[in-house]
Amino acid sequence: MHRGIFFDIIPDEMKVSRRHILQITGIGIVVAGAFPRMAFASRNSIKSMRTGAQPGNKTRFVVETANRPSYTLVYGENTLTVKLSNTPANDSVKPKLASGTLVRNVSQTQIGDSVNIVLDLKKPVAEIPKNQIMVLEPNGDNDYRLVLDFVAGTTKANAATATTTTTAPTEKKHIIVIDAGHGGKDPGCIGRGGTKEKTVVLSVAQKLRTALKNAGFTVYMTRSDDNYLKLNERAEIAEKRHADLFLSIHANANPSRSVKGFSIYTLSEKASDEEAQKLADAENAADKIDVTGFESFSKDIRIALSSLQQHAVAEMSVEYANGCARAFNRAGIEQQAGPAVRHAPLAVLRSTVPGALIECGHLSNKAEEKLLKSSAHQDKLVAAIVKSIKNYDFEV
């Protein structure tokens, strides 16, 4: 997969993923000659380690990290190794070992870009059930904590080989924020039969939320009922939820009643064509409904992003949009004449979160208005979007 011109000029030993670049905040962090600092800032770090005795002869091991840990467990003979990716060893962190546990000692070994935290055990341990593995969010004076509760026992893993690994994919759910366009006093466009955009897109968004949750994603909505939200508020929700992807769901209208089909938009300072600019003007004008006028974006969002952040967000957004368009085409959903993916200065997409605005079809077209109202067609749209998200590479 092509990663873009900015990535091509970074030496291989300094390369980081675009997802890591999105963690950079504030202006001036990335400057010429400062790539090593950028790579270091994106890495995780160990804050503390400790053991404790739990009821039922369980041993608890806790490792505290600055960022959410990405980990693998390796079961060996009388050892349990916790491998933390993108994390340096930190010998200054001394483990606090409680008495009455299975852990004799804890050591750290750096292997490539990962640290192996090796627990020297008095006895082999059974494979840890997923419900005994927790990643706790920051709370008070604590940062992220990976918590493992385990008991003595044997498994095929530690009996056969010391290199068998297990992972806990349920702890790595990607976060999707779904934005149902318009709402409240802003109906959006209205079809010839009186169908309001705000009603159609909310129905699609609610179905999409259910389908994505069933597929294992963490999902939030900017609105779950007929509420009015300003465009910057929608973008801020994606920021506050630390979303991996932001999708704004809309339906289109055109002076020509014959125009129909879906189209997908990503953020660009310059519209890709005249129609994209007109759509941006129409969507951005939603804020003018509020008598208080336009509000400025929050400081975090309106601060100029580093050039690498801008390119990372743009590239990831376009990659998702292209994948979504392919999923729509394969599902037999009609595409609007012209390019399926377009670019426009859409205020709702102004954030550090990759995202796209999906125009599901045209309410101004009589036949498509009927389609967009139907539950079966909404299910078809949702299935295609879910497939596009499953196929999207979040980590590149």
Range of the domain at 12: 5-41
User: Looking at residue 79, what is its pLDDT?
Assistant: 92
Residues 236 and 293 in one domain: yes
What total number of domains does the chain contain?
Answer: 3
Confidence (pLDDT) at 32: 31
Are residue 19 and residue 53 in the same domain, yes or no?
A: no
Can you point out the beta strands (E) in 227-354?
A: 245-252, 263-267, 341-344
Same domain, 16 and 50: no
pLDDT score at 20: 59
Quote the pLDDT of residue 277.
67
In the prediction, which pLDDT does 286 show?
54
Of 123, 149, 171, the one marking the end of a domain is 171
What type of residue is 275? E
Q: For residues 390 and 396, give the distance between their C-alpha atoms in angstroms, rounded to a whole number.
A: 14
Q: Check residue 346 and give its pLDDT.
A: 77
Name residues of the chain where pLDDT drops below 70. 1-42, 155-172, 269-311, 395-396
Nearest CA to 348 among 202, 235, 230? 235
Q: Which CATH number do you get for residue 84?
A: 2.60.40.3500
Q: What pLDDT, on the 0 to 100 scale, is given for residue 56?
A: 86
Q: How far is CA 130 from CA 151, 166, 219, in A?
A: 13, 10, 21
- pLDDT, residue 281, reads 62
Rounded Cα gap, residues 258 and 18, in angstroms: 41
Rounded Cα distance between 348 and 237, Å, is 11
Show the 3-state SS of 80-92. Answer: EEEEECCCCCCCC
